[in-house]
Each structure stands twice: as C-alpha cells, then as structure tokens.
C-alpha cells in the first residue's frame, strides 16, 4: 500500500489482518522523513528510538491477541509547544534550545496510552506567534506543494508533515488560526476544537483564553478519530470540560441550514480563492442544503481585538522565561552578571523579534492608564463578537467561510511588514475569540495551491461540522 493512501482506519485494518506490523509502518514513515524532510524541514526533532519502541509495544499486544485501539500503531507528529516526556521542547525559541520536557502533556498521555507512535516534534513560529513558520528561531518549513512557499503557521511543521506524508496525523495548537490556516495552505484537514474541549495541560501557554490543541490529518474521518481520543475533562486543566452530548440534529442534507456571513467576502481577497469558496458553498446548495446570507457585524473588529488580548495574555505567560528558573540564561556565560542583567539580557537574547514585539504590545495595553482604553475595551468587543455568533446559530446549523484570503504566500513575502502578516488570520481569529469549533478542509486549488473552506459550528458541535465536512469531501 502507498504511504499517500494510508489513513488511520486502513492502518488499523492492516495491523489486525497482519498485512504489516506497527514497526514496519513506523520504519516506512521514518524512511519517508529521511528522504523528504531534507527539503520540507517540518521536523525539529525526530524521535526514532521512542517511535520504534512504541511501535514494538503495539506489535507485542497484537501478537498476544490483546485488543488494540483504532489509533494503536499510528505514526504521529507533535507541534513543538506540546510536552513529550524526554524529548526536547523548544516552541521554536532559542530561549528553550536546551529544554527537555519533564512530563507528558495530557493529550500525549492519552495518545501514548492508546499506542500512538510519536515520530517527533514539528517546527512552528516561535511560541506560536506567526502565520508562516518564518518566526521559528531554527529554520523555515517549506510548503510540500511548492517549496518556495510557506506552509502557513504557526503549526506549519505539523501541516507540512501531514501533507508530505511524513506522518498520518499531527497535533497543532490554534490561538487565532494556527491549525486551520496551515491546514488550508497545505491542503489537509485541521480542527480547532471548542475552547475547553481538549486539555491544555502540557501545552506551552501563548494566550490562555484562546489556545486549543487540535488534530491535523488527511481526512475528516482521521481528524474526528484523533479528536475523540484527545478530548474530555482533565483535572489538570480547570478550563477543560466534559463534552456535553449535543444532539447533532437531523443532518439530512435537505434540512441543513448553512450561513454565509456577508462580512467575510472582503476587499483585498484573492478573486480565485473567493471563486473556489463560492463553488464549494454552491455544491452544498445543489445537494439540497439551504444556504442563507447572515451578518456578523462585529467581525471587522476581530483582528484589532485579538491583537490586544493575545499579546496581553502572552506578556503575562512569557514572564516565566526569566533566565533563572529554566531555559537560556546569560548567568551561565557570565558569573558576574547582576540580577537585572540576567532578566534583561536572557530575555533580550533568547526571544526573537516577533515575540519581543508581542510582549511589548501586551505590556503596554495592560499598563495602568491604558488598561481601560485597550484591554477592557477589547474584552467588551470580544463579547459582542461572541454574541453575533450566538445570534447566527439560532437560525443556522453551521457557518461557511474562507480560511484565508490568499493561498500560501512566498517565503519572505510578508516578513518585512508584520501588519500584512496579521491580516492573513482575518477569517480565523473571531472563532477563537468566541471559543467556537471550526474545521478547515480542502475545497480546491488555485494555480496548484490548496485552498481551504472553513466550517464553523456551535459550541461542542464538532460532530456536526465533521458530518458537514464529510459531505464536501465525498463530493469534491
């Protein structure tokens, strides 16, 4: 069987029928990484030894006729801001260059318990701040569809690893679009779960009220399988929740009501991308779904609101990298450095430009005198954005939008101007502010480059958006 065609279910069936062993599958992926990752550069760390020993355990269980789960023996890649015990975890930052994770994140514990084979850690924008992986302190990951282009970000390594068939699925994190935008750029499926659906314990915090871990895979079905394995309440994360059983309603396509927000077809959007999204929406309509125009009037404030709230939370979360507790420290090089020097020089030398920019923005908006005008006001706008969605979901089952206004851009194209980089998240950010689930799935191609459709669901209606996604996937 060709590696490009493997899915979780196909590997599971093959393992049970003894067509191949978990070690053989693992080796096939390790070989693929050796061959292709030289040009893609998706991985920061390849954990060959750990992967082979996890795969061996699965083979032992099979030979002892023990029951294995659907994801046993499935090779996966993990974004480098999620802790895997014993592996380096850098968040693509110099400040954590020599940091080794002392424990497993809850999602990793869950995956390991089910026999998932962890192949390694993937490249990202430093501390998940960015949309292209160009903010990695190590190297830029290339888009497997065109090596001159970015894979998106910040989970660009994870998306490129799936698209390049270097793993079956990957985990990413999404604070403002970091799973969905790279999924769209790399032509894979990516889910940002409902806030609280997946434990954040062991995820390096960027903006805690927005961050969620989610899967990237080749198919909606694979994404769903992984999501079901990693979700659920965790006592180590008080914001996590047991997923309430939401009646996914009658999902006959004839009764499906889909909303298309008029504010999402904006000036400056690539006309070819718009055409593909409109065609995908039309497909749903032709199959019998009712498509109606809706309005999210506060959507235009989402970007401004996010770039106040996310840096504010980041400035607080990143205060822990102080050159004392762990990570890079000038005190290691200079015994005579005084305390202030240790703080300032370790942080100044350890963090990259974008991270420093966000810390400064966040510190400014939180400082007394500015707090009310910026942070407090942004929180109020956040509520308005959330209310818009709540109103919309009274009349529609799901909302369809583009993921990104353009396909993957060229490496270097936006690095000079942070504002144009921020704009590439214009369609994904409001979903994090509202805490809703959304999936990005391939809708077509523009000049050979993939374009993703975003399906936004109501709280905890992941199952519904998976079903709606599968309809398009089947009819692509």
Provide DSSP, 269-332: S-HHHHHHHHHHHHHHHHTT-EEEEE--GGGGGHHHHHHHHHHHHHHHHGGG-SSSSSS--GGG
Per CB under 6 A, contacts with ligand GLN among 203-242 are 206
Q: Which two tokens stand for residue 300?
A: 């235009």
According to DSSP, the β-strands at 189-192 and 438-446 are: antiparallel
Pick 206 or 393: Cβ nearer ligand GLN: 206
As measured in angstroms, the least distance from the Cβ of 428 to ligand GLN is 8
Determine if 197 is a binding residue for ligand GLN (CB under 6 A). no
User: Cβ contacts of residue 460 below 8 Å, gap of 6+?
Assistant: 194, 197, 243, 244, 246, 437
Residue from the set 37, 104, 425, 461 that interacts with ligand GLN by CB under 6 A? 425
Residue from the set 14, 73, 156, 177 that interacts with ligand GLN by CB under 6 A? 177
Determine if 174 is a binding residue for ligand GLN (CB under 6 A). yes
Q: 263-270, long-range: CB within 8 Å, 24+ apart, which pairs?
A: 263/295, 263/296, 263/297, 263/299, 263/300, 264/296, 264/299, 264/401, 264/402, 264/427, 265/402, 266/405, 266/426, 268/405, 268/423, 269/402, 269/405, 269/406, 270/405, 270/406, 270/407, 270/446
As measured in angstroms, the least distance from the Cβ of 451 to ligand GLN is 18
Q: Which residue is nearest to ligand GLN (CB)?
A: 178
As measured in angstroms, the least distance from the Cβ of 181 to ligand GLN is 7
- The CA-based angle 111-79-59, given to 5 degrees, is 35
Pick 177 or 202: Cβ nearer ligand GLN: 177
As measured in angstroms, the least distance from the Cβ of 369 to ligand GLN is 25
According to DSSP, the β-strands at 398-402 and 257-261 are: parallel
Determine if 80 is a binding residue for ligand GLN (CB under 6 A). no
Contact at 8 Å (CB) between 302 and 430?
yes
Q: How deeply is 316 buried, as exposed, middle or buried, from its count of CB atoms within 10 A (0-12, 13-18, 19+)?
A: middle
Residue from the set 156, 176, 407, 437 that interacts with ligand GLN by CB under 6 A? 176
Q: Which stretch binds ligand GLN (CB under 6 A): 68-76, 173-181, 212-220, 256-264?
A: 173-181
Pick 37 or 211: Cβ nearer ligand GLN: 211
Pick 102 or 412: Cβ nearer ligand GLN: 412
Contact at 8 Å (CB) between 303 and 425?
yes
Pick 128 or 330: Cβ nearer ligand GLN: 128
As measured in angstroms, the least distance from the Cβ of 414 to ligand GLN is 11
Residue from the set 140, 141, 175, 346 that interacts with ligand GLN by CB under 6 A? 175
What character string, x for contact with ligand GLN (CB under 6 A) and - otherwise, covers 82-121? ----------------------------------------
Catalytic positions are: 79, 154, 178
Residue 154, preceding bond cis, omega within 30 degrees? yes
Q: Which two tokens stand for residue 406?
A: 């353009």
What character string, x for contact with ligand GLN (CB under 6 A) and - otherwise, covers 115-154? -------------xxxx----------------------x
Q: DSSP state, 447?
A: T
- Count residues near ligand GLN (CB under 6 A): 13
As measured in angstroms, the least distance from the Cβ of 43 to ligand GLN is 19
As measured in angstroms, the least distance from the Cβ of 310 to ligand GLN is 6
CA distance 456 to 392: 11
Pick 176 or 193: Cβ nearer ligand GLN: 176
As measured in angstroms, the least distance from the Cβ of 64 to ligand GLN is 42
Query: What is each CA distance from 315 to 81, 206, 221, 255, 356, in whole angstroms?
Result: 17, 9, 37, 46, 9
CA distance 396 to 368: 42
Which residues bind to ligand GLN, rule: CB under 6 A?
A: 128-131, 154, 174-178, 206, 310, 425
């Amino acid at each position: 069987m060709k590696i490009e065609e493997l899915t979780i279910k196909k590997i599971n069936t093959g393992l049970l029928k003894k067509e191949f062993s978990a070690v053989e599958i693992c080796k096939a992926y390790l070989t693929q990484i050796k061959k292709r990752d030289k040009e893609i550069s998706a991985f920061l760390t390849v954990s060959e030894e750990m992967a082979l020993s996890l795969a061996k355990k699965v083979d032992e269980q099979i030979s002892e006729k023990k029951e294995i789960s659907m994801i046993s023996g499935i090779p996966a890649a993990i974004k480098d801001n999620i802790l895997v015990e014993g592996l380096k975890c850098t968040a693509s930052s110099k400040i954590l260059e020599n940091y080794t994770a002392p424990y497993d994140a809850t999602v990793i514990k869950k995956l390991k318990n089910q026999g998932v084979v962890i192949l390694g850690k993937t490249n990202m924008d430093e501390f998940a701040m960015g949309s292209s992986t160009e903010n990695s302190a190590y190297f830029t990951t290339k888009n497997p569809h065109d090596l001159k282009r970015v894979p998106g970000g910040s989970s660009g390594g994870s998306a490129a690893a799936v698209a390049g068939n270097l793993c079956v699925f990957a985990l990413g994190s999404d604070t403002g679009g970091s799973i969905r935008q790279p999924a769209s750029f790399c032509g894979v499926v990516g889910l940002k779960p409902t806030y609280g659906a997946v434990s954040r314990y062991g995820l390096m915090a960027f903006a805690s009220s927005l961050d969620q871990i989610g899967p990237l895979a080749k198919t909606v079905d694979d994404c769903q399988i992984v999501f079901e394995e990693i979700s659920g309440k965790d006592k180590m994360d008080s914001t996590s929740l047991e997923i309430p059983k939401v009646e996914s309603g009658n999902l006959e396509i004839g009764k499906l009501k889909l909303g298309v927000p008029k504010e999402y077809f904006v000036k400056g959007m690539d006309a070819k991308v718009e055409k593909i999204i409109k065609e995908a929406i039309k497909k749903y309509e032709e199959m019998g779904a009712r498509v109606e125009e809706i309005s999210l009037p506060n959507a235009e404030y989402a970007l401004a609101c996010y770039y106040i709230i996310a840096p504010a939370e980041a400035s607080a979360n990143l205060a822990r990298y102080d050159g004392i507790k762990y990570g890079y420290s000038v005190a290691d090089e200079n015994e005579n450095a005084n305390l202030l020097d240790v703080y300032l020089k370790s942080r100044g030398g350890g963090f990259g430009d974008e991270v420093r920019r966000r810390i400064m923005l966040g510190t400014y908006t939180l400082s007394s005198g500015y707090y009310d005008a910026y942070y407090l006001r942004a929180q109020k706008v956040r509520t308005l954005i959330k209310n818009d969605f709540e109103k919309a979901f009274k009349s529609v089952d799901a909302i369809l939008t583009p993921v990104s206004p353009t396909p993957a851009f060229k490496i270097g194209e936006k690095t000079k101007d942070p504002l144009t980089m921020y704009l590439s998240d214009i369609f994904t950010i409001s979903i994090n502010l509202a805490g809703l689930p959304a999936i990005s799935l391939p809708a077509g191609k523009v000049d050979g480059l993939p374009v993703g459709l975003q399906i936004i669901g109501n709280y905890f209606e992941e199952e519904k958006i998976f079903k709606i996604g599968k309809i398009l996937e089947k009819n692509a």
